[in-house]
Copies of this chain bind each other. A is one copy, B any other.
Amino acid sequence: MSSNTLGVRQAQKLKTRQALLDAGLRLLEEQSLSSLGLREVTRVVGVAPAAFYRHFRDMADLGVALVEESLGSLHVVVRAVLAEQSEAEEVIDGSVDAVAEHVALHPAHVRFIARERHGGVRAVREAIGAELDRFGDEVAEALAAQELSAGWSAGDVRMLAGLYVDHLVMTASAFIEAADAGERRRIADTARRQLRLISLGRRHWQDG
């Protein structure tokens, strides 16, 4: 047996835990974490209320777990975009498309992050903030490695990375609230032009 084979019991436990997370995420599409009830979640899963405590201390705890799940999947996207080595214009198009695709694939995750980033539960807010900071560091590292960043101070690179991350989150949020495909195209178009303008500012940062 391989070392990561789980016993029947522990596997069942993880399954229930995941069911709780899924139910929570689903219910959070139309409300905020601070109003999500423990019984509400267990009812959807089809489990007794008291069973909740076998997996999470309270709803804030479940929220923090959802942050890891939600932003974990985004990490993959960011790394893919950053790895790309091509012309600026293509990188921009690639980024926007990647974000659009990610939102289409995991709308509930993205909505959760947007909603709880400034939401009413401190622990979750801080978890999201910390994770986005890590994204910023990651992006900064990738930017620093590019020839365009020659002569830039570390602080300046970091602020540019922050601008990119913030813009990514704003774009994703906009996609989430988009009603039809036309609106999505308009958002993508605006995002591309904004990125182009930022990348233009980047190119002339050293001048004066």
Contacts and interface: CB of A to CB of B under 8 A. Distances in A.
Contacts of A118: 111, 114-115, 117-118, 173, 176-177
A194 B32 contact: no
Q: Oligomeric state, in number of copies?
A: 2
A141 B199 CA distance: 24
- Most B CB contacts (10 A, CB to CB) among A35, A156, A194 go to A35
A125 B33 CA distance: 16
Contacts of A205: 197, 200
Contact of A197 (B35, B119, B163): B163
A152 B160 CA distance: 25
A33 B34 CA distance: 9
Contacts of A125: 177
Given A31-B34, A201-B200, A166 B162 contact: no
Interface of A: 28, 30-35, 111, 114-115, 117-120, 125, 129, 156, 159-160, 162-163, 166-167, 170, 173, 176-177, 190, 193-194, 197-205, 207
